Amino acid sequence: MIKIEKRNDVSQSIYFLTPILAIFLTLFGGGIIFYILGFNPIEALKFFFITPISDLYGLSELLVKATPLCLIAIGLSFCFKSNNWNIGAEGQLVFGGIVGGGVALLFYNHDGFYVLPIIILSGAIGGMLFAMIPAILKTYFNTNEILVSLMLVYVAKLLLDYLVVGPWSNPEGFNFPETRQFSESARMPILFDGLRIHTGIFITLITVFLSWLILYKTYLGFQIKVSGLSLKTAKYAGYKGKTMIIIVFMISGACAGLAGVGEITGPIGQLHRNISPDYGFTAIIVAFLGRLNPVGIIFASLIVALTYLGAETAQIFLQVPKYTGQVFQGMILFFLLGSDYLLFFKIKFLGLKKNEL
Amino acid sequence: MYKLFLRGLISVLFLLGLSINANADFKVGFVYVGPTGDHGWTYQHDEGRKAVEAAGIKTTYVESVPEGADAERVIRQLAQSGHDLIFTTSFGYMDPTNKVAKDFPNVKFEHATGYKREHSNVSTYSARFYEGRTLLGHMAGKMTKTNTIGYIASFPIPEVIRGINAMTLAAQKVNPDIKTKIVWVFTWYDPGKESEAAQALIDQGADVIMQHTDSTAPVQVAEKAGVWSFGQASDMQRFAPKSILTSIIDDWAPYYVERSIAARDGTWKQQDTWHGLKEGMVAMAPYNSAMGGDLVKEVEQLQKDLASGKVHSFTGPIYDQKGNILVAEGAVADDGMLAGMNVYVKGVEGDIPQ
């Protein structure tokens, strides 16, 4: 007989240490996989986790990749903390990109310091409005936000498809599914010559700081946390549940929209069909790996970004399949959830009692 | 402190050693948009890479690289890690390829299906797939009983529209009543969407199906429904042995080997390549004997004539859907017109999505 019991006292420090444990277990598991595939595990792990960030360019790329993940995950943490399951950050990112990109095209060949801020703001508003759809449907029509937000991802992607193929496609682009390259005034300024790291990183850092402020220093943050822990308590305390649900979705959508607009005005510079390699979904892993904590999410986004870069370098130097990166992401989540389970539950091995026979 | 310094020195030397080693031998890198096992576009590029490897040149590939912000990093990493020639094999890599090329003037770049050559170390190359489409049109026109040909199209870019037109013109030549029905799937590779499109076309009466997408799903649907089909990019015969009449094969191998050797020997020059049946960049899989020996002979002759230039896929008179003349009688469309083609010829149903 195996009996599973809930633990009553879970230490906070261990709670924040388990992600690190999960990462080490992933490295160990990854080493074994590389060994089975016939590679020297130490060397393979070096190519995977050290080589990609061994120069300035690599570090800059790491930040470029981590920026959208961090932004989206921060936004998602508001939703997840309050038990609202927004799975559609990818759609909100795309919609933010569409709105921001539309404004950027409107300002084509238009100079002025105000162009970029307007684009960024409109992207955030776009993401925000798009996230309000599942929120309003949930609060007023009792729909399931998981399904609605997920399905809206496809709506946003198809809308982007339509726009870049049709009305917004580059007039000189031979009908290829992409818009014009945005003008310089609509691009995020590059921080260092030759590197792709751009001012979007400051937006991310400011967002992280603001989220920390909201979550831990304001009444709203307190409401969010209480509703996450117990909806009944929140109701008993007289919190306005509906408004809060809409607010967390708005924050989450705005962050995803910012990520989208950051991508198109940053490294991409135009709208096309592939503005995001599923950042919105990967950010869910990032949010949980970072324990829904702003600082934790920064580290988590860097680690998950590294698994992407590592998958590329490992492929270049060792010719291991690209999907090893996804295996690593999967392993991190698996070990994290596994250790969480053991953290919150006790497994007791009991002998068989006589009366059970 | 001293130890730390020593350690630092050793690691720097080690890294230097790595990069010197990397530069010591000539290497060619490939960037793929899909997985090497797609049995279509990427699969054929990888066959080309294997041919380069067989010629004694070291190669590296990176597969399933999204056409967004990641592409530039992957291309740059290949350039940085000592690759001397880099093939980027999808249209979406056009801008990233040119950006990286600017920073690595000593590395050569070859971009497939694009039109931008902003730096002297960037070449572009593509194949005249439309010549293959002409052959398919001839067969489709002869084989159809319903006079309806189903065409699964990816994106309304000139390359795809050229294929639709070349096929329709050739089919009309042998069967004036032919109609071409098109379903746009807006993807290069999505087995689910492609098979739905194939089914929809069959339901609308098409008894010959062809595709400008990369998965084997449409030919498998055609096989089940008992209609004729054509493979795309690689020989897909084993996925639908009864249904497939032939496949258009993209044979990049000779080009890749030639350009790799040229780059190694220092004779590589910037160029824009558009090769077809003549040079073998477009090849045809064995013809299915089910279409009858006479037709096979006809098509083989037509293939020879297209290769020799005796027949051109776009020979006038060619009319657009409204009946306006596009190419005068006796004239042939020039490459400029082909490169920018964005209207359907008469006989194609529907409008180009705009």
Q: Is residue A357 part of a domain?
A: no
With CB atoms and an 8 Å threshold, state whether B74 touches A276.
no
For B341, which residue in chain A has the nearest alpha carbon? Answer: A174
Which pair of structure tokens corresponds to residue B342? 């964005």
> How many angstroms separate the CA atoms of A80 and B87, rounded?
44
Hey, are the CB atoms on B64 and A322 less than 8 Å from each other? yes
CB nearest A316 (choices: B62, B156, B342): B62
B183 and B316 in a single domain? The answer is yes
What pLDDT sits at residue B22? 43
Q: What is the pLDDT of residues B147-204, one digit of tens each?
A: 999 999 998 888 999 999 999 999 999 999 999 999 999 888 889 999 999 999 999 9
pLDDT band per the 50, 70, 90 thresholds, residue B18: very low
The answer to whether the beta carbons of residues B182 and B149 sit under 8 Å apart is no
* Average pLDDT score, chain A: 90
CATH number of the domain enclosing A347: 1.10.3470
- Please check whether residue A275 touches B, CB under 8 A: yes
Q: Does A313 touch chain B (CB under 8 A)?
A: yes
Q: CB under 8 Å to B192, separation ≥6 — which residues?
A: B217
pLDDT digits (tens, 9 = 90+) for A102-125: 999 999 988 889 999 999 999 999
Tens-digit pLDDT profile for residues B111-160: 998 889 999 999 999 999 999 999 999 999 999 999 999 999 998 888 99
pLDDT at position B212: 94
B158 and B203, same domain (yes or no): yes
Residue A180 located in a structural domain: yes
Let me know whether B241 and B313 are in one domain.
Answer: yes
Domain ranges, residue B114? 18-127
pLDDT bin (cut points 50, 70, 90) of residue A177 is confident
In a domain, B266, yes or no: no
Residues in chain A with CB shorter than 8 Å from the CB of B95 are 181, 269-270
CB B340 to CB A276 under 8 A?
A: no
Closest Cβ–Cβ partner in B62, B186, B339 for A165:
B186
Count how many domains chain A has. Answer: 1
A147 has a pLDDT exceeding 70: yes
Strands (E), chain A: 2-6, 345-349
For residue B354, being part of any structural domain is answered with no
Where is pLDDT greater, at A222 or A324? A222
In a domain, A271, yes or no: yes
- DSSP secondary structure, B71-126, as one string: HHHHHHHHHHTT-SEEEE-SGGGHHHHHHHHHH-TTSEEEEET-----STTEEEEE
H helix or E strand, kind and range, residue A83: none
Kindly state whether residues B245 and B311 are assigned to the same domain. yes
Share of chain B above pLDDT 70, in %: 93
Is residue B291 one of the residues assigned to a domain?
Answer: yes
Q: Which of B101, B127, B153 is the last residue of a domain?
A: B127
Judge if B117 and B133 occupy the same domain: no
Residues A123 and A99 sit within 8 Å (Cβ to Cβ): yes
Instruction: Give how far A176 is from chain B: nearest CA, Å.
Output: 6
> Does B144 share its domain with B162?
yes
Examine the domain organization and report whether B215 and B241 are in the same domain. Answer: yes
Average pLDDT estimate for A300-306: 93
Residue B271 lies in a domain: no
pLDDT digits (tens, 9 = 90+) for B302-354: 999 999 999 999 998 999 999 999 999 989 999 888 988 889 999 898 888 87
Residue A201, pLDDT score: 93
Q: Are B138 and B208 in contact (CB under 8 A)?
A: no
- Interface membership of A81 toward B (CB under 8 Å): no
Q: What is the CATH number of the domain that holds B90?
A: 3.40.50.2300
Q: List the one residue out of A255, A243, A247 whose CA is nearest residue A127.
A: A255
Cβ(A39)–Cβ(A320) under 8 Å? yes
Q: Considering only CB atoms, which chain B residues are within 8 Å of A273?
A: 67
Do B107 and B58 lie in a common domain? Answer: yes
**Given B93, B127, B161, which residue is the final one in a domain?**
B127
Structural domain harbouring A295: 2-352
Write the pLDDT tens digit of every residue in A188-230: 998 988 888 999 999 999 999 999 999 999 998 998 888 888 8
Name every chain B residue with its beta carbon within 8 A of the beta carbon of A272: 67-68, 92
Residue B64 lies in a domain: yes
Neighbour count for residue B304 (Cβ, 10 Å): 12
* pLDDT computed for residue A171 by the predictor: 84
B53 within domain boundaries: yes
Contacts of residue B342 in chain A, CB cutoff 8 Å? 174-175
Number of structural domains chain B divides into:
2
Which structure tokens are listed for A247? Answer: 């607010």
Question: Measured between alpha carbons, how far is B180 from B177 in angstroms, rounded to an integer?
Answer: 10
Q: Measured at the alpha carbon of residue B177, what is the angle toward residues B176 and B180, in degrees to the nearest 5?
A: 105
Residues A289/A302, Cβ–Cβ less than 8 Å: no
Write out the H or E segment, with its range, that includes residue B231.
strand B228-233
Of B88, B110, B127, which closes a domain?
Answer: B127
Q: Are residues B207 and B316 in the same domain?
A: yes
Distance from CA of B73 to the nearest CA of A (A): 8
Q: Do both B237 and B313 map to the same domain? A: yes
Residue B175 CA neighbour count, 13 Å, CB half: 20
Q: Are B76 and B136 part of one and the same domain?
A: no
With beta carbons under 8 A apart, name residues in chain A contacting B68: 263, 268, 272, 274-277
Residue of A nearest to B78 (CA): A316
Q: Render pLDDT for B199-249 as a digit per residue (tens, 0 to 9).
A: 999 999 999 999 999 899 999 999 999 999 999 999 999 999 999 999 999
The Cβ of residue B335 has, within 10 Å, a number of other Cβ atoms equal to 10
Q: Do A64 and B342 touch (CB under 8 A)?
A: no
Tokens read off for A146? 């998981």
Give yes or no for residue B10 having a pLDDT over 80. Answer: no
Stretch (H or E) spanning B214: none
Confidence of residue A353 (pLDDT cuts 50, 70, 90): low
Q: How confident is the model at residue B3 (pLDDT cuts 50, 70, 90)?
A: low
Q: Which residue has the higher pLDDT, A8 or A51?
A: A51
Taking only the tens place, the pLDDT of each residue in A263-286 is 999 999 999 988 998 999 999 999
Angstrom distance (rounded) from CA B114 to CA A309: 26
Same domain, yes or no, for B114 and B24?
Answer: yes
Q: Is residue B272 part of a domain?
A: no
